[in-house]
Structure 1
Amino acid sequence: MGIIWALITAVCWGSIVLVSEKLGGDFHSQTFGMTLGALLFSLVAFFIVQPDLNMAVFAIGVVSGIFWVIGQRNQFASVDYLGVSKIVPLSTGMQLFGTTLFGVLVFHEWKTTTEIMIGLAAICAIVAGALLTSRRSKKGNEKDNQNFKKGITILLISTVGYVTYVVIIRWFEVNGWQAILPQAIGMFLGALVMSLKHKPFNKYSVRNILTGLIWSTGNLTLLLALPLIGIATSFSLSQTGIIISTLGGIFILGEKRSKKEIIWVISGCVLIILGGVMLGFTKS
């Protein structure tokens, strides 16, 4: 069941950047709108399930949510420099490396030699696929190179936020239902503080409530998957949604890629799917 939860997360999260770009707005209003949607979702879910909460769990959830804002806000910001079809694969590779490093070295989630060999091969396939989808067929001009460097720098900050958001919940063994409301509160407060001077209250933030609802669904299924199949496997499987956003950036948003680059993108997506399937075997 854990693998199914993680794959639902992949579909939800793989659609977020694509949907948000279609809805419009800058990264401030996009992030703020997402947190509004997440807060609404979590309030409804909390009153339906009514999980037990204490101050420690609440604080952990809020901190996790703040780190998520750092991750999501900077991912949206990096799209302005490189586009969806390049940023999402690179972001995926960075997140996979960080979360897997924690999952294996800190939480010891791969115990047998077979699990380690399959897991490492799977991660290599996913990261190679992510790099292949972002490969360029020709050298860019000076402006392109500057944009690439800026985009990568912002993505590094984004990765720290995303990885910490996932790891802190796993570290303190907080379950999904307990975390969902405190996380959303942390997300909302973090987005409000970071975006207040940019006037995020506009029609685009209202539109992006939809992306918050989509994200929340994926977040909940990921949190449910973590205790069942571990952080390395669940988070890696959740990132296979890269296929949706990468191909969507090219064919729906109309981002320009050469025929050779499109072949690389499709090949990279195949590698990512293969890696996701292999990761499933590490917990079979």
Structure 2
Amino acid sequence: MNALLMLLPALGWGIMPPVVAKIGGKPANQIFGTAVGTLIASIGVFIAIRPQITWQSFVLAALAGAFWIVGQTGQYTGYKNVGVSQTMPVSTGLQLVGTSLIGVFIFGEWASSTEKIFGAIGVLLLIIGIWLTSVSDEVNAQVDNKVRVRTMIMLILTSAGYWVYNSIPKGLSTSGLAIFLPESVGMVIAVCLYLIFSHQLKTFKEPISWINIIGGLIFSFAAITYILSVGANGVNSAFVVSQVSVVLSTLLGIIWLREHKSRRELTYTMLGLVLIVAGAVVTTIF
């Protein structure tokens, strides 16, 4: 059962990027729809299980949700600028490094020497694999390279939001599905503030914003199973295996969204995906 919980978030998060990219709209439309869809799903979960949660945990979980908006807005901007198959490997790598270090140094995971050695090997394999999938031959125009560099810098800065989002649940006295509703409340509050301060109020009434609720429902499936997996498997194992989603999202970006890759790029991508799976297996088993 624990192994299944580790795989389900990868399925949800792997499908979500190409679906949201296919639906379209601006990043503001996408992040608003995703937040609202998540809130809808979380209300349904709350009604079904009626979890108990303290006010302190509610506030911290809402804060985690707000930080997720930071990371996800950066990712959606990446889809628009350089595509899903370029954004996801870089975003995944940044999340992986930050969250793994937090798990080790703050939560004391990988306590034994053996766990540390194999954990480090697994993470190294994942990082190399992710780097290989991001190799690009595009040198067509200087402006393209500038856009790519700006996008990479933006992803580095916004990935800090993911680190907080992925780590807070482990430190809460209340955990599991009890924190899903407050997380989604934090998401909606944060996205509303973002739209207000960025002067994008028309996003609230644009139809494409509401169609993007689909992305929020897919995210909810992944988030619920991730919350359960963190409790059962620990931050590092749950997070690392969930990032196998990059395999699915990258392939769908190439095949379904028809994002172009040269033969060399495709070769590096396939090799990188193999290393990602290998790294996740090594990290999880040992």
TM-score normalized by structure 1?
A: 0.96
Q: Who is 2:215 aligned against?
A: 211
Q: How much has 1:225 moved relative to structure 2? A: 1.0
- Matching of residues 232-243 of structure 1 within 5 Å: 232-243=236-247
Query: Match for residue 170 of structure 2?
Result: 170
| Residue of structure 1 in register with 2:268 after alignment | 264
Q: CA deviation at 1:140?
A: 5.0
Could you say which residue in structure 2 is the equivalent of 1:200?
203
Structure 1 counterpart of 2:94, one-letter code: M
1:7-42 superposed Cα distances (whole Å, 9 cap, x missing partner):
100010111110001111110010000011100000
Residue identity opposite 2:219 in structure 1: W
Which piece of structure 1 moves more, 52-61 or 190-199? Answer: 190-199
Match of 2:250 in 1: 246
* TM-aligned CA distance change 1:263 to 1:166, over 3 Å: same
When normalised by structure 2's length, the TM-score is 0.95
SS in 2 for 1:253: coil
Cα distance in structure 2, aligned partners of 1:152 and 1:38: 27
Opposite residue 82 of structure 1, the aligned amino acid is V
Aligned to 1:277: 281
The worse-fitting range, judged by mean Cα deviation, of 12-21 and 187-196 is 187-196
SS at match of 2:136: coil
The alignment covers a number of residue pairs equal to: 282
> CA-to-partner distance for each residue in 1:26-78, whole Å, 9 max, x for gaps?
10010000011100000010011001122111101110110011111111012
Letter in 2 for 1:251: I
Match of 2:33 in 1: 33
Letter in 2 for 1:15: I
Shift of residue 169 of structure 1? Answer: 1.7
> Percent identity of the aligned residues?
32
Alignment correspondent of 2:156: 156
1:112 matched to 2:116? The reply is no
Q: CA deviation at 1:173?
A: 4.2
Match of 1:200, SS? helix
Q: Which amino acid aligns with 1:79?
A: Y
Q: Displacement, 1:203?
A: 1.5
Give the Cα separation in 2 of the matches to 1:192 and 1:38.
Answer: 14
SS of residue matched to 1:110: coil
